[in-house]
Structure 1
Amino acid sequence: MPADIDPTDIDQIARHLNAGAIIPYLGPGLLALCADAAVPATPVALAELLTARISVPHKIRKRLTQAAQFIENFKHRKSVVNLLNEAFAATPSPSPLHLALAASGAGLWVDTWYDDTFAAALAQARPRGGWAQVQGLSQAEHFGTWFGAYGPHGEPLPDVPAAGALLYKPIGGHAPAANYLVSDSDYVEVLTEIDIQTPIPPAVQAWRGGRGFLFLGCRFDDQLTRSFARQIMKRSSGAHWAVLPDAPTRMEARFLEEQGIARIAMPLPAFADALVAALRPALAA
């Protein structure tokens, strides 16, 4: 596994971000930085919220994809979507790190949770627009179409823009169209095709070439998160980092080594403060 990065290299990460050479890859753990994160911030928390509303077998109450599949099978797909819409109806106020990343020179951000926080950060940091988002689509609702594109005000776009900044939400998101990959069947459909990159928008595939990734608020202790990260990183290059203060599990350590990701063993709030401070001079220029 690559050696833990020295915190003094945060200045280097900031320079790469502002040069567009690093792609921020955001996980649900980033919500811990928000002052009012009144939305589920882990798959377990979301599973518990769903199963508090609709009973499922006890053994899957904390397993998000299985619980969602049970509700979809025995209630309706609309029941799952309605519950997720309620869970993510509030938009947490973006943290200083969200806003700094949104205003940085990054041209692509990957957001792997359903909340609207980073889209709100982009709207604040880039009030004139110039960005779009693309979300993964469930085959249960959009058979044969793998992703949908939306403008900065939520307006549907006929295709993913070839130019401009892009927010990529591979498992969907609450706004603007309630697109969610959440059940077992949703993931089976995507994982069947993801090795050949079909579900990943060509604009994302093109942008990642020659660039590194910075993983924030992510854990890789689940096969799904590793599979998505591995395929989204495919054919990227350069240095990769992951802020991971807790000791990695055996499978996480193997994944970090396999993908050449350097671990930053700092608490996320401390790293966020340092990166925001390093980015601030360029953002003020």
Structure 2
Amino acid sequence: MSETMTTTETKDYSELIETIKKEIRNQTTVPYFGLGIFKGITTKEGEQMPFDSDSMILMMNNGRAMSPRLMFEYSRAAMHLEQRRGVDYIQQMTNWIYTKEFEPTPLHKAILNMSPRFIIDTNRDAKLQEMLAFEPHTLIIGKSRILDNDYRYEIYEWDVENKKYFQVDEEALDDAQKIIFKPMGAPLPEPSFVISDADYVDWLTEAMGGFAVPSVLKTYRKTKKYLFMGTYFDRDTDRMVANELTHDLEGGYFISDQELGKKEKKFVEKHNLELIEMSLEAFTEAFI
């Protein structure tokens, strides 16, 4: 066993985890969900939910691996499928994946119990929305390849009585008590996803111009910390998305028990993130 692994296993994060819980409750740390929260989560039919790039590709391609070049990153694989079968096909495929029934993850439940005002969820499911069906909330859905304007989001409020979303202007965020930001899309209120290389290029281009985050949130997020749960920063795409969503951050926390690559270390250091050297499973157990 390596010296690094021994250190990882014996380090006590209990005090830090309690601090993070307090920071989420007092709105100074923003929860940030990534794909890895679905590791070990299966649908009602017993299928594994995609929890990393490889499992996402397998789900998109009917369980079959693709060439090494395409297996490098799921957005590249999605682009290949889009080129072969069209935009509608990959959007419908993504909707099919994320409308499968599954139970909320322990982290979904724990985070909502702490009542944060603002949650960033880069996954493409609607589980948080389903869990908030009896509570007023404001939803921001990320969009790509919109032809009539530069903005890469739409804003909705949830009508609890009638159980439906209605589109609102950005001013609605001023007094919103709970904001769910789904920058990569979701099945609700209507299926729309940022999934292929072309989607990401468009979204990131406009994000860098300031058009992917509402101005109210640009003010609100200043000096916030972020708790990155189930995120991977070994690919440029995920790092670039996180960078655009967390401008002006104070710092935060990154959970990983894997040895970080050079680019990951640089990202963690640049964003002043504290590395919590635990598996997400171990962190979840300690967190809940």
TM-score using structure 1 length: 0.84
Give the 5 Å matches for 1:193-212: 193-212=206-225
Distance 2:149 2:63 in 1: 28
Alignment of 1:136 onto 2:137: no
Alignment of 1:69 onto 2:82: no
Counterpart in the other structure of 1:192: 205
Displacement of 1:264 in angstroms is 0.5
Letter in 2 for 1:228: V
Displacement of 1:102 in angstroms is 1.2
Counterpart in the other structure of 2:128: 118
Counterpart in the other structure of 2:260: 248
Alignment of 1:267 onto 2:279: yes
Alignment of 1:27 onto 2:34: yes
Counterpart in the other structure of 2:8: none
Kept in 2: contact 1:140–1:186 (CA 8 A): no
Letter in 2 for 1:256: V
- The root-mean-square deviation of aligned C-alpha atoms, in Å, is 2.6
Letter in 2 for 1:273: E
Distance 1:61 1:143 in 2: 33
Q: Could you tell me which of 77, 80, 89 is aligned with 2:90? A: 80
Counterpart in the other structure of 2:107: 97
Displacement of 1:205 in angstroms is 1.6
Deviations 1:147-205 (A, max 9, x none): 12233344131224322211111111222311111111111112222223211122332
Q: Structure 1 residue runs of 4+, over 6 Å off? A: 53-58
Q: Could you tell me which of 4, 15, 21 is aligned with 2:22? A: 15
Kept in 2: contact 1:48–1:62 (CA 8 A): no
Relative contact order, CA 8 A, sep 6+: which one is greater? 1
Displacement of 1:134 in angstroms is 0.8
Counterpart in the other structure of 1:181: 194
Deviates most, 203-212 or 152-161: 152-161
Tell me the secondary structure at the aligned position of residue 155 of structure 1: strand
- Residues 105 and 49 of structure 1: CA distance in aligned 2, closer, same or farther (over 3 Å): closer
Q: Identical aligned pairs, as a percentage?
A: 21
TM-score using structure 2 length: 0.83
Displacement of 1:258 in angstroms is 0.9
Deviates most, 190-199 or 103-112: 190-199
Counterpart in the other structure of 1:281: none
Distance 2:220 2:195 in 1: 26
- Residues 181 and 275 of structure 1: CA distance in aligned 2, closer, same or farther (over 3 Å): same
Tell me the secondary structure at the aligned position of residue 87 of structure 1: helix
Consecutive unaligned residues in structure 1, runs of 5 or more = 277-285
Deviations 1:61-90 (A, max 9, x none): 554222222332332211111111211121
Counterpart in the other structure of 1:279: none
Tell me the secondary structure at the aligned position of residue 151 of structure 1: strand
Counterpart in the other structure of 1:156: 166
Letter in 2 for 1:150: Y
Tell me the secondary structure at the aligned position of residue 23 of structure 1: strand
Deviates most, 75-84 or 252-261: 75-84
Alignment of 1:40 onto 2:41: no
- Residues 66 and 35 of structure 1: CA distance in aligned 2, closer, same or farther (over 3 Å): closer
Distance 2:118 2:38 in 1: 19
Distance 1:220 1:26 in 2: 13
Distance 1:250 1:118 in 2: 33
